[in-house]
Amino acid sequence: MIDSFQTFKSYTSTKYDQVLRPQFHFSSKKNWINDPNGLVYYKGEYHLFFQHNPKSINWGNMTWGHAISRDMINWTQLPHAILPYGNGTIFSGTAVVDNINSLGENTEKEKAIVAYFTHAQKNKDPFYQSGAYSIDRGRSFNLIDQGKPLVPNQGFSDRKGRRTERDPKVFWHEPSKKWVMVLWLRKADRKNKKDLGKVRFFYSNDLKNWEFLSDFDRSWVYECMDLVELSVDGNSQNRKWLIYDASFDYEVGVFDGKSMITNNLNYLGDLGKNYYAAQTFNNSPDGRTVIIGWMRTGKKSVFVDNNMPFNQQMSFPCTMELKTTSDGIRLFRWPIKEIESLYYSTNLYRKNKLSTINKKLAKNRYELIDLYGSFNPKKVNNFEINIRGQILSYQKGKFYFENTELPSLNRSLKSFRVLLDRTSIEIFIDEGYSVSTNYAVSEDSNKTIKLIGNEKVIFDLFKVSSLNSIWQ
């Protein structure tokens, strides 16, 4: 690994007090971040590795940055974990805890955390998948086989001739007692002038030698695949597999240790503008499946325009569950309960009129917000809620954010939840049935929450919690 990429020492004097610093979402002390990588739990610590440019505020020099947390809320950034080497940089990937010493590197004291990533070679040399392991709880990594390919390039190229397959996801598959790797590939379909999405599954017994299992060809797949097993309707006896890509299209089906079988229907799991390249924690200590995504800004970044020392942020961690709806099984996402540790004051109104709630809200100033409301759709037609300038509206049975409909369930109670940080808004309709994740900059001078609509409308519940910063 090339030492000059280890710039973390120069970060230590940087604080988290800038005007545009997200206050309960992770960002790097300094410089650029994108995808979360290698999310894994080990010995009381959640590890968040991430795509990082250790030398600049913009994308490049891809290195795995590193932060740890005991609760997925408060993060401590550590020295960069995996640095570029040879002819390439370190693209996205995964990390597992080697619970059964498959790699043979466990020590008496520690199990190995084994990371897989794409070695993204320069000068159009084909990308390949390699690995590294840590026997000091993720503090330092040794390349496996000097970082040579563990999974060589599979030989497909897209229409531009790029051989850039990438972003290995690895997990332990208990029924077949094997490690499984999910890899995104792309194949040119020159006849139809398209690139076809392709996912390839591999297995390994020793976390080093990988054998082909099967292919999963879908037009919707693009980068950063994840495959994870979830309970349906909270029933641990009824489990299904969720496969999704970077833009968070997903399918639900059965992964039998060899291939993924689905009914071929795919859905979009986030209706906002800025949820990308999400992944779930491996080795979860409590059976929950928690996901974090990159909340990207799109082309223009207010962070860069305002000379912030950092650029980009992560989404708030959420649990994922599958639930049966009238349209079939769908994915639900919900902020982790640990968020409550940040509440310092909560206003709770039960069965109150819109006008009464508004009067009470007007007395307070809000900055970092977790807000929840519910109402009977038979009695409420339209309203808007203006949260520090961000507007969620409800019109004739439908929720909208920035002209995009956020579908809700057909039931006698509707609900909405909004997390608002300085530079983001995350919206959850009907307990996480529709989710919209957005990079959005709230007006610094506007610290109000206001309901707009028929004064007599009753909300079953309206609850606003103010949050502490995680950076104190």
Answer for the pair 165, 183: CB distance below 8 angstroms, yes or no.
yes
Q: Of the candidates 199, 246, 368, 467, which one interacts with ligand FRU according to CB under 6 A? A: 246
Residues 6+ apart with CB under 8 A from 196: 186, 187, 188, 189, 217, 219
Backbone angles phi, psi at 182, to 5 degrees: -115, 125
Nearest distance, CB of residue 91 and ligand FRU, angstroms: 3
Note whether 170 binds ligand FRU by CB under 6 A: no
Residue with Cβ nearer ligand FRU (213 or 278): 278
Note whether 185 binds ligand FRU by CB under 6 A: no
Note whether 62 binds ligand FRU by CB under 6 A: yes
- What residues form DSSP beta bridges with 393? 384, 400
DSSP character for 85? B
Mask: binding to ligand FRU, 345-384, rule CB under 6 A, as x and -?
----------------------------------------
Note whether 83 binds ligand FRU by CB under 6 A: no
How far is the C-alpha of 263 from the C-alpha of 280, rounded, in Å?
23
Answer for the pair 425, 440: CB distance below 8 angstroms, yes or no.
yes
Q: Of the candidates 35, 370, 421, 430, which one interacts with ligand FRU according to CB under 6 A? A: 35
Q: How many residues lie near ligand FRU (CB under 6 A)?
A: 14
Note whether 166 binds ligand FRU by CB under 6 A: yes
Q: Of the candidates 97, 277, 290, 357, which one interacts with ligand FRU according to CB under 6 A? A: 277
Strand, helix or coil for residue 44: coil
Biggest CA-to-CA distance, the chain = 69
Note whether 167 binds ligand FRU by CB under 6 A: yes
Note whether 245 binds ligand FRU by CB under 6 A: no
Q: 227-246 in b/e burial notation, b at 16+ Cβ within 10 A? A: bbbbbbeeeeeeeebbbbbb
Residue with Cβ nearer ligand FRU (91 or 433): 91
Nearest distance, CB of residue 279 and ligand FRU, angstroms: 11
How far is the C-alpha of 86 from the C-alpha of 5, rounded, in Å?
13
Q: Of the candidates 91, 210, 366, 462, which one interacts with ligand FRU according to CB under 6 A? A: 91
Nearest distance, CB of residue 294 and ligand FRU, angstroms: 7
Residues 6+ apart with CB under 8 A from 169: 93, 94, 181, 182, 183, 225, 226, 227, 279
Backbone angles phi, psi at 251, to 5 degrees: -130, 155
How far is the C-alpha of 27 from the C-alpha of 253, rounded, in Å?
34
Residue with Cβ nearer ligand FRU (92 or 393): 92
How far is the C-alpha of 188 from the C-alpha of 191, rounded, in Å?
9
Answer for the pair 61, 55: CB distance below 8 angstroms, yes or no.
yes
Nearest distance, CB of residue 23 and ligand FRU, angstroms: 24
Residues 6+ apart with CB under 8 A from 417: 335, 370, 371, 372, 373, 427, 428
- What residues form DSSP beta bridges with 187? 196
Nearest distance, CB of residue 60 and ligand FRU, angstroms: 9
Q: Which of residues 205-244 bind ligand FRU (CB under 6 A)?
A: 223-224
Residue with Cβ nearer ligand FRU (276 or 416): 276
Note whether 92 binds ligand FRU by CB under 6 A: yes
Q: Of the candidates 23, 28, 31, 51, which one interacts with ligand FRU according to CB under 6 A? A: 51
Query: From the CA atom positions of the chain, what is the Rg in Å?
Result: 23
Residue with Cβ nearer ligand FRU (296 or 417): 296
Nearest distance, CB of residue 51 and ligand FRU, angstroms: 4
Note whether 118 binds ligand FRU by CB under 6 A: yes
Note whether 314 binds ligand FRU by CB under 6 A: no
Backbone angles phi, psi at 58, to 5 degrees: -110, 170
Question: From residue 377, how far is each of 187, 234, 293, 368, 399 by CA, in Å?
Answer: 47, 26, 32, 28, 11
Residue with Cβ nearer ligand FRU (167 or 270): 167
Nearest distance, CB of residue 114 and ligand FRU, angstroms: 18
Catalytic residues: 35
Residue entry with tokens 């591999």: 202
Residue with Cβ nearer ligand FRU (246 or 291): 246
Residue with Cβ nearer ligand FRU (135 or 185): 185
Mask: binding to ligand FRU, 453-472, rule CB under 6 A, as x and -?
--------------------
Residue with Cβ nearer ligand FRU (91 or 248): 91
How far is the C-alpha of 141 from the C-alpha of 325, rounded, in Å?
44
Note whether 34 binds ligand FRU by CB under 6 A: yes
Contact residues: ligand FRU, CB under 6 A: 34-35, 51, 62, 91-92, 118, 166-167, 223-224, 246, 276-277
